[in-house]
Structure 1
């Protein structure tokens, strides 16, 4: 297994592209030593968000050691509240921060606050759950493709016929809506597949277990489960505790999910796949903010691929997923700059180094 992820292509809006002649390659050298970059996070109640916050701490420590920022505090609202996060952004405007890296509670409801930040001269970089406000930079995965990939995988495994359960994520955000849209669109290709029920797992094992346990008595035999990450292990526990046959459950790159997958594979040949974004993408958000402050021209829309795990490489991924954490990749400054330059030139992304 290579220590790099090979990403063949990057999706980016055509309006975001610049020609090489209009953009300087390499890192911008403007002085950012006195700048403050704040993380505004809407939720921390699952392992992905906890891993993301740890990745933020790592990149901030590195940047401060190199004298690239003055400070980079993180702020998290308690309950995925749009109102609380809007107030959070207002507070950061009043504090006079230079940039905000934003994981948003809503793609649209925060646009007014984001526009006020931009109008105050603050660089706003949204990532993961992005906003639609034009002044913000956006770093996201192709979340719709996650739903497409999962349905195609289950259709292939089940021969195009079977009964499915869909476990959805946190309501109100762009990620859940995009993944679900991919599911709905792709299901139309397979008339032999039927979604018999839906539960809200909120990307959290405990919530998924509770909600799936609640709906299981109303469902027929389930052949496959569509998930969104952070909910696969809890879903599996719900089936096992109910004495139900374990269906093909898509996993979401969390430690408890990949270790359960490995254990069930060794026990009775259980086979599935796993897919999710990498929490390390927050590091790219930080470096994009720092580089914009330093004077680099950066596309407003950057879409990075999802990280897929497959049966043949399962032992490697279990070994390289931290206990209690999430399988991830690293997005250091040099890689971020190379990716920006590749975008400007219309070229594929460079290989992404894995976290060892």
Structure 2
């Protein structure tokens, strides 16, 4: 008996010395991802990152399951029902990319009351019992106008490409853009369309509005819409404005071609799709008994003129420039937040 205890103590000390090895037992825990939308390259990359990192975690015995579920429509009522089903299915934690910051709060509270850990990211929820992982989307919008103020000091007309209507991320980025225009009044928003964070939708929307617009100096965007916008301007034989990009591979390829041909300059900014992997590890750490702040902020991923080639080289075709998080990365982020 004494020998067994000594061996167990030795194993515990060895595990404690190895970074990333959890002391509490989460091997039997099940985590689910509730995703409200998968209709663009960012969401597809987000799901791919989730599957890659969580698959490795399941295989190595960190957790028992890390299933992902996406609703058929971007409807908060459908996602709320999805979360309620996850409660019934006995998941220990639910990671949520939410359709609404408030409409899911009832279902989230039900999950918390059932003893389930809820971690929201990207599209976060406001229910106090949940954890939130987000970037400053408002700042993402504002900094685009700030960049244009340096690139186009005389200002001019802007075209705003919005995201998916009714989603809080769209509202926050747009609010930041309008705040930027107030800060830099040499700019005026001459038109606004919804591109749904998708190149094809953005191209059609911009093509439809261009005939009624004056000369456009710059285009402020939300991600997944820059290349489609450029195609619409080209098809209309309009001068190409400075289009802020959103880290999608096709946008970066287009930018590189323009840069090589005419020294075209812009910038690109978005949230890394791999934030889903940070949310997974945060959920795992909470299940593991770690103390984690309710609100964590992750930095935006920005690509500039001099970092374009390096980022393009490591972005897969059809994908999005990305950062994925390991357990060690997550532990550092948790510690930094404290």
Q: Same fold (TM over 0.5)?
A: yes
Partner Cα separation in structure 2 for residue 27 and residue 162 of structure 1: 55
Partner Cα separation in structure 2 for residue 281 and residue 103 of structure 1: 10
Partner Cα separation in structure 1 for residue 187 and residue 285 of structure 2: 47
Could you tell me which residue of structure 2 aligns to residue 194 of structure 1? 188
Task: Say if 1:27 and 1:296, in contact at 8 Å, map to a contact too.
Answer: no
Could you tell me which residue of structure 1 aligns to residue 103 of structure 2? 109
- Equivalent position to 1:172, from 162, 166, 171: 166
Runs of 4 or more consecutive aligned structure 1 residues displaced over 3 Å after TM superposition: 25-28
Query: 5 Å matches for 1:47-86?
Result: 47-86=41-80
Partner Cα separation in structure 2 for residue 152 and residue 56 of structure 1: 33
Task: Say if 1:42 and 1:85, in contact at 8 Å, map to a contact too.
Answer: yes
Task: Say if 1:26 and 1:338, in contact at 8 Å, map to a contact too.
Answer: no
Could you tell me which residue of structure 1 aligns to residue 240 of structure 2? 246
- TM norm structure 2: 0.93
- Equivalent position to 2:24, from 30, 39, 43: 30
- Equivalent position to 1:88, from 82, 88, 95: 82
Task: Say if 1:27 and 1:291, in contact at 8 Å, map to a contact too.
Answer: no
Structure 1 residue 160 displacement after superposition: 4.0
Structure 1 residue 38 displacement after superposition: 0.2
Structure 1 residue 181 displacement after superposition: 1.2
Partner Cα separation in structure 2 for residue 139 and residue 193 of structure 1: 32
Partner Cα separation in structure 1 for residue 245 and residue 28 of structure 2: 42
List runs of 5+ in structure 1 lacking aligned partners.
1-24, 345-356
Matched, 1:312 2:306: yes
- Cα-to-partner distance string for 1:240-269 (whole Å, 9 max, x where unaligned): 011111000000000000000001111112
Structure 1 residue 312 displacement after superposition: 1.0
Query: 5 Å matches for 1:124-163?
Result: 124-163=118-157
Could you tell me which residue of structure 2 aligns to residue 262 of structure 1? 256
Q: Answer with 169-178 or 299-308: which moved more.
A: 169-178
Task: Say if 1:139 and 1:285, in contact at 8 Å, map to a contact too.
Answer: yes
Could you tell me which residue of structure 2 aligns to residue 289 of structure 1? 283
Cα RMSD of the aligned pairs, angstroms, is 1.2
User: Over alpha carbons, which structure has the higher Rg?
Assistant: 2
Task: Say if 2:141 and 2:176, in contact at 8 Å, map to a contact too.
Answer: yes
SS of aligned partner of 2:45: helix
SS of aligned partner of 1:101: strand
Higher relative contact order (CA 8 A, sep 6+): 1
Task: Say if 1:165 and 1:197, in contact at 8 Å, map to a contact too.
Answer: yes
- Cα-to-partner distance string for 1:207-231 (whole Å, 9 max, x where unaligned): 0001111111110110100000110
List runs of 5+ in structure 2 lacking aligned partners.
1-18
Corresponding residue pairs, total = 320
Could you tell me which residue of structure 1 aligns to residue 37 of structure 2? 43
Could you tell me which residue of structure 2 aligns to residue 228 of structure 1? 222
Task: Say if 2:155 and 2:217, in contact at 8 Å, map to a contact too.
Answer: no
Structure 1 residue 190 displacement after superposition: 2.1
Structure 1 residue 59 displacement after superposition: 1.1
